[in-house]
């Protein structure tokens, strides 16, 4: 990093932040595991590359994990964790091995034994004042510590309500919510009322946004479908729906969600990039951005590997926001490329960042990678005379604070 980047990085570290996206699990879940370091690595992106799965823990033993680590030393899914261990636990090495495992585990355990370790690290050390939390594992539960968290409503399960037996990629069903709330759903009308019900509950409980990670289940092209066509899958016997009927149902639910977002003034966060059969490029959402011009949409992950698309799209859609979240872990090189382009096309407005992690270590590593991306790109822009140092500092504050605040806050609260 050049001297401007270094200076910017220190400033960004201290600046107040809004973290647009996390999945933080209760620290207790890690504390209870006898091999706490293994449990942390299991709930990180490292396990994805080690076991070739997405979103599922690898089930590897410590020995298996250590031997596989030797095959992927340059993976950014490994590097961000090492970065976090160095930052949090004074870990001085560049890789994990049999010799340093116990010492690091001990440090981590001490940290987890203190109350409020999430706040200590994320608020205390990184000055994150608000974290937008996506607890996709409980449909429609918005119980979070409001001092630091703000919940979103994850809509993916509602794309699978055509059958009581269908599940989204996280094993969720909208009927888990219906059953918990004692809501009868026999007709398609009642099904749409169930969606209205969870939206109303979310509004009462102050959700910040709607969240869609449906790209893990299907492509991101959503056509306009009549209600008559959409309900065919709903009335089919479970397992007898055709792929086309399911697609019609889901397309309808997608548009229904956007109509509701429009009515309720809720912004929408959408996962783009890695996903089902790579039919998940941001540009597939072009027709949606044309149609719903008053809904603020945040495109996640830079659409990796299509990182050239979101910046161009933001130029033409002022309601489109760009979130770096997870991109610096997918590829630090592509995150720098993307951010540079986004800065040039949006001017610095509408860009945000977030951590996308299940534990504090992941969140710290991820936020540090985001801040490094910002510092490197802005520092180079200062170095070449494209921006002044003062402008680079101001843009940093916009990304960390002003832009997410504008995206999430309803107009009356500004």
Shortest Cβ distance from residue 136 to Zn ion (Å)?
Answer: 8
Closest to 212 (Cα-Cα) out of 157, 276, 273 = 157
Closest to Zn ion by CB, 364 vs 381, is 364
Strands 268-271 and 17-22: unpaired
**Which among 178-186, 307-315, 356-364, 404-412 is the span making contact with Zn ion, rule CB under 5 A?**
356-364
How many chain residues are in contact with Zn ion, going by CB under 5 A?
1
**Which among 220-228, 240-248, 304-312, 353-361 is the span making contact with Zn ion, rule CB under 5 A?**
353-361
**Which among 175-183, 215-223, 288-296, 349-357 is the span making contact with Zn ion, rule CB under 5 A?**
349-357
CB within 8 Å of 60: residues ≥ 6 apart: 42, 47, 50, 51, 68
Rounded (5°) CA angle 158-164-165: 105
Shortest Cβ distance from residue 362 to Zn ion (Å)?
Answer: 11
Distance CA 245, CA 224 (A): 13
Closest to Zn ion by CB, 302 vs 396, is 302
The reply on whether position 356 binds Zn ion by CB under 5 A is yes
Distance CA 293, CA 142 (A): 28
Chain CA centroid to CA 330, Å: 12
The reply on whether position 156 binds Zn ion by CB under 5 A is no
Closest to Zn ion by CB, 231 vs 356, is 356
Shortest Cβ distance from residue 21 to Zn ion (Å)?
Answer: 6
**Which among 83-91, 337-345, 348-356, 388-396 is the span making contact with Zn ion, rule CB under 5 A?**
348-356
Give the contact letters, 302-341, x = binds to Zn ion (CB under 5 A), - = no: ----------------------------------------
Shortest Cβ distance from residue 23 to Zn ion (Å)?
Answer: 6
Closest to Zn ion by CB, 302 vs 379, is 302
Distance CA 342, CA 335 (A): 10
Shortest Cβ distance from residue 107 to Zn ion (Å)?
Answer: 27
The length of the chain in residues reads 414
Long-range residue pairs from 91-95, CB within 8 A, at least 24 positions apart, any chain? 95/69
Residue 134's CB is within 10 A of a number of other CB atoms, namely 20
The residue of the chain with the least Cβ separation from Zn ion equals 356
Distance CA 278, CA 305 (A): 9
Distance CA 366, CA 205 (A): 28
Shortest Cβ distance from residue 134 to Zn ion (Å)?
Answer: 6
Site residues (vs Zn ion, CB under 5 A):
356
């Amino acid at each position: 990093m050049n001297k401007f980047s270094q200076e910017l990085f220190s400033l960004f570290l201290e600046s107040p932040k809004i973290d647009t996206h996390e999945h933080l699990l209760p620290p207790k879940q890690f504390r209870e595991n006898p091999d706490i370091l293994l449990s942390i690595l299991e709930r990180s992106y490292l396990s994805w590359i080690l076991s070739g799965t997405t979103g599922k823990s690898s089930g590897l033993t410590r020995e298996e994990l250590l031997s596989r680590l030797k095959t992927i030393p340059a993976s950014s899914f490994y590097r961000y964790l090492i970065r976090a261990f160095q930052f949090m636990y004074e870990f001085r090495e560049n890789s994990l091995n049999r010799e340093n495992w116990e010492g690091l585990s001990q440090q981590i355990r001490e940290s987890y034994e203190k109350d409020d370790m999430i706040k200590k690290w994320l608020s205390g050390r990184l000055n994150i004042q608000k974290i937008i939390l996506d607890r996709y594992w409980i449909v429609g539960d918005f119980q979070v510590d409001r001092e630091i968290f703000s919940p979103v409503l994850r809509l993916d399960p509602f794309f699978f309500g055509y059958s009581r037996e269908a599940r989204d990629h996280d094993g969720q069903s909208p009927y888990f919510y219906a059953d918990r709330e004692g809501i009868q759903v026999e007709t398609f009308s009642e099904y749409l009322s169930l969606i209205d019900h969870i939206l109303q509950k979310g509004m009462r409980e102050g959700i910040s946004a709607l969240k869609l990670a449906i790209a893990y289940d299907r492509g991101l092209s959503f056509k306009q479908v009549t209600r008559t066509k959409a309900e065919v899958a709903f009335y089919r016997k479970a397992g007898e729906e055709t792929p086309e009927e399911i697609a019609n149902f889901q397309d309808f639910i997608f548009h229904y969600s956007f109509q509701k977002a429009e009515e309720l003034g809720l912004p929408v966060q959408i996962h783009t990039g890695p996903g089902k059969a790579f039919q998940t490029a941001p540009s597939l959402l072009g027709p949606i951005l044309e149609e719903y011009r008053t809904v603020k949409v945040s495109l996640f992950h830079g659409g990796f590997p299509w990182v050239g698309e979101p910046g161009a799209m933001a130029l033409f859609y002022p309601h489109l926001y760009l979130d770096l979240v997870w991109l610096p872990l997918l590829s630090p090189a592509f995150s720098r490329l993307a951010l540079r382009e986004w800065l040039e096309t949006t001017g610095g407005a509408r860009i945000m960042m977030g951590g996308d992690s299940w534990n504090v270590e992941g969140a710290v590593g991820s936020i540090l990678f985001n801040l490094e991306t910002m510092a490197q790109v802005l520092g180079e822009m200062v170095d070449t005379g494209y921006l002044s140092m003062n402008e680079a500092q101001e843009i940093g504050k916009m990304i960390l604070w002003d832009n997410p605040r504008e995206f999430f806050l309803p107009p009356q609260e500004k």
